[in-house]
């Protein structure tokens, strides 16, 4: 099922997207954020919370911000303190919490990052072991069909585990634990196992560990690896990426623009945080899932399809700048054209085929119909069946299954089971359908794909001329306007001092460059 597209236009889109991203990398390189600094501390081995449930990494960053100069970076102070006290970073954090140690005296001390290397190497060794474990599991997991992706969202991690095990035994390949409402706006990561969430379950390292342990057990029982997903987004984006790397999550929702547009997080904060989070995910072989599908919940999917494609090109270049392999770039799109539109399925098929044609090596994340689900479960089942046909026919990689009760309630286990039955039936019935048909060169679908590509190129031309910040301020994505001078988390952004160092990212990038296949 191959489209006839102008390859020069595709190359020009990538050139525009690279120009857009390169312009922002200059800004990113000059700045850091409190969440980046907390992530460095986590990767140096600092964990836990104090008696007030404040994470030690927050305590330490706040201490430096209040009593010293954070623009030098946390590594400056930790290196000096470790060398002077001979204590571990964890012990230093605990002493600072107890007010028995201050980092202020180390502000003007010259530091050598070598003293931190054993702690960095220890964490990276743990991540390397998790990568090796995943590779061992994945040896028996070969498939030429989309991977069936379902969600659990009870708010209680122990109930989530039971629902996840049930879905995996029913045939799910990927389990996503939906994050509790509002966690993206918390400027700290909660600690420990949690049993009370709203619309989802808190993303904590212990919750990651518990779910990974449970899915590993099911993987062994079923003889196939069950992948785990959570959210590396919001104000703690890189911290959660680090936690996911340590606990062997396989995918993380990680978009460069979603938090800006839909959570009103400051654009500088988001872009700086997403860069470090993607470097971590690239190192840990974690597939990212981007959020272009969300644009179509506020914009018309037919009229604004080109904004999805333009964002995919931008997300691709942000991932490439973080030395991420194409095989980890789970770029997003969705089945959201109004079902009452004549030929809606043909337009949807064209859009899905367009994404696959342009990003053939990326594991595309295809989202089900949600905006036009009405609560009519019979019509909803048909909409999801057509979505499943589009997914398997165009060889999508990551296929989030639609629920017949979308727009009614959080899916029951029975709803999920019916969704899996629907997808399994369609996968078999349409297995070779896409390989056995062709698009007419001047037909509706090929013409539609060409129009979307042409409009995406025009939008990328505009963005490359005016800059991404101006584009976001004008509301060109999802018809939502954001200002670079406003938004949550801006007070956590700071300019790096000339002596600033982040030895963690230096090590990660050095190793990624040695194996970089992008350039």
Strands, E, within 75-177: which ranges?
147-152, 174-177
Phi, psi values for residue 81, rounded to 5°: -70, -40
pLDDT value at residue 519: 34
pLDDT value at residue 370: 95
Strands, E, within 309-444: which ranges?
329-330, 332-334, 365-367, 398-400
Per-residue model confidence as pLDDT tens digits over 345-398? 999 999 999 999 999 999 999 999 999 999 999 999 999 999 999 999 999 999
**CA angle (385, 387, 390) in 5-degree steps:** 115
Structure confidence at residue 143 as a pLDDT band (50, 70, 90): low
Q: How far is CA 279 from the centre of its chain?
A: 12
Q: What is the DSSP string of 87-111?
A: --HHHHHHHHHTTS--SGGGTTS--
The residue assigned the tokens 């305590």 is: 59
What does the alpha-carbon distance between residue 258 and residue 52 come to, in Å, rounded to a whole number? 31
Per-residue model confidence as pLDDT tens digits over 151-168? 999 999 999 999 999 999
Looking at the predicted structure, is the pLDDT value of residue 517 above 50?
no
What does the alpha-carbon distance between residue 273 and residue 257 come to, in Å, rounded to a whole number? 11
Q: Which two tokens stand for residue 199?
A: 């619309």
- In this structure, the number of other CB atoms found within 10 A of the CB of residue 366 comes to 27
Structure confidence at residue 141 as a pLDDT band (50, 70, 90): low
Region 271-299: mean pLDDT is: 95
pLDDT value at residue 139: 84
**Long-range contacts formed by 23-26: CB under 8 A, 24+ apart:** 23/467, 23/468, 24/271, 24/468, 25/275, 25/321
Per-residue model confidence as pLDDT tens digits over 307-354? 999 999 999 999 999 999 999 999 999 999 999 999 999 999 999 999
Region 206-211: mean pLDDT is: 98
Q: Which helix (H) or strand (E) holds 140?
A: none
Closest of 443, 348, 442, 423 to residue 390, by C-alpha: 348
Handedness of CA 236, 241, 247, 249 (dihedral sign): positive
pLDDT value at residue 112: 92
What does the alpha-carbon distance between residue 111 and residue 75 come to, in Å, rounded to a whole number? 9
- Domains identified in the chain and CATH numbers: 143-445 (3.20.20.440)
Structure confidence at residue 400 as a pLDDT band (50, 70, 90): very high
Which residue numbers are catalytic? 258, 293, 365
What does the alpha-carbon distance between residue 392 and residue 427 come to, in Å, rounded to a whole number? 6
Looking at the predicted structure, is the pLDDT value of residue 301 above 70?
yes
**Three-state DSSP class for residue 59:** helix
Do 392 and 435 contact (CB within 8 A), yes or no? Answer: no
What does the alpha-carbon distance between residue 215 and residue 197 come to, in Å, rounded to a whole number? 21
Looking at the predicted structure, is the pLDDT value of residue 49 above 80?
yes
Q: How far is CA 108 from the centre of its chain?
A: 38
The residue assigned the tokens 């659990």 is: 152
Q: Which helix (H) or strand (E) holds 227?
A: strand 227-231
Beta-carbon contacts of residue 62 (< 8 Å; ≥ 6 apart): none
**Three-state DSSP class for residue 323:** coil
């Amino acid at each position: 099922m191959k489209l006839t597209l102008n390859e020069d236009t595709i190359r020009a889109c990538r050139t525009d997207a690279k120009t857009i991203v390169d312009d922002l990398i200059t800004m990113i390189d000059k700045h850091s954020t409190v969440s980046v600094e907390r992530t460095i501390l986590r990767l140096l081995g600092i964990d836990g919370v104090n008696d007030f449930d404040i994470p030690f990494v927050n305590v330490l960053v706040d201490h430096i911000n209040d009593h010293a100069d954070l623009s030098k970076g946390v590594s400056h102070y930790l290196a000096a303190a470790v060398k002077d006290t001979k204590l571990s970073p964890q012990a230093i954090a605990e002493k600072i919490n107890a007010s028995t140690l201050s980092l202020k005296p180390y502000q003007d001390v010259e530091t050598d990052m070598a003293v931190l290397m054993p702690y960095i190497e220890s964490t990276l060794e743990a991540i390397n072991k998790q990568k090796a474990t995943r590779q061992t599991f994945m040896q028996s997991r070969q498939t030429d069909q989309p991977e069936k992706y379902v969600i659990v969202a009870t708010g209680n991690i122990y109930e989530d585990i039971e629902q996840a095990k049930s879905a995996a035994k029913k045939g799910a390949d990927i389990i996503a634990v939906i994050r509790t409402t509002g966690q993206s706006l918390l400027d700290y990561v909660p600690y420990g196992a949690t049993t009370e969430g709203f619309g989802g379950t808190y993303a904590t390292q212990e919750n990651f560990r518990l779910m990974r342990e449970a899915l590993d057990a099911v993987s062994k029982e079923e003889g196939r690896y069950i992948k785990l997903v959570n959210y590396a987004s919001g104000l703690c984006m890189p911290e959660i990426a680090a936690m996911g790397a340590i606990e062997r999550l396989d995918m993380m929702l990680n978009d460069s623009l979603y938090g800006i547009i839909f959570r009103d997080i400051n654009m500088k904060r988001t872009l700086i945080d997403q860069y470090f989070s993607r470097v971590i995910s690239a190192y840990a072989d974690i597939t990212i899932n981007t959020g272009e599908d969300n644009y179509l919940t506020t914009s018309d999917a037919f009229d604004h399809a080109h904004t999805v494609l333009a964002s995919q090109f931008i997300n691709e270049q942000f991932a490439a700048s973080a030395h991420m392999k194409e095989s980890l770039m789970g770029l997003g799109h969705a089945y959201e054209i109004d079902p009452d539109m004549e030929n809606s399925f043909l337009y949807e098929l064209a859009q899905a085929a367009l994404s696959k044609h342009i990003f053939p090596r990326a594991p595309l994340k295809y989202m089900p119909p949600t905006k036009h689900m009405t609560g009519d479960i019979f019509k909803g089942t048909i909409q999801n069946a057509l979505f499943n046909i589009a997914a398997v026919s165009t060889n999508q990689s990551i296929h989030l299954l639609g629920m017949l009760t979308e727009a009614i309630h959080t899916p029951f286990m029975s709803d999920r089971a019916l969704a899996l039955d629907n997808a399994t039936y369609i996968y078999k019935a349409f297995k070779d359908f896409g390989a056995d048909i062709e698009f007419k060169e001047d037909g509706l679908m090929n013409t539609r794909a060409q129009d979307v590509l042409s409009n995406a190129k025009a939008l990328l031309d505009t963005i490359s001329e005016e800059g991404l910040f101006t584009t976001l301020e004008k509301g060109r994505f999802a018809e939502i306007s954001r200002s670079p001078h406003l938004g949550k988390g801006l007070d956590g952004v700071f300019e790096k001092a000339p002596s600033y160092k982040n030895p963690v990212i230096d090590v990660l990038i050095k190793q990624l460059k040695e194996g970089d296949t992008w350039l």
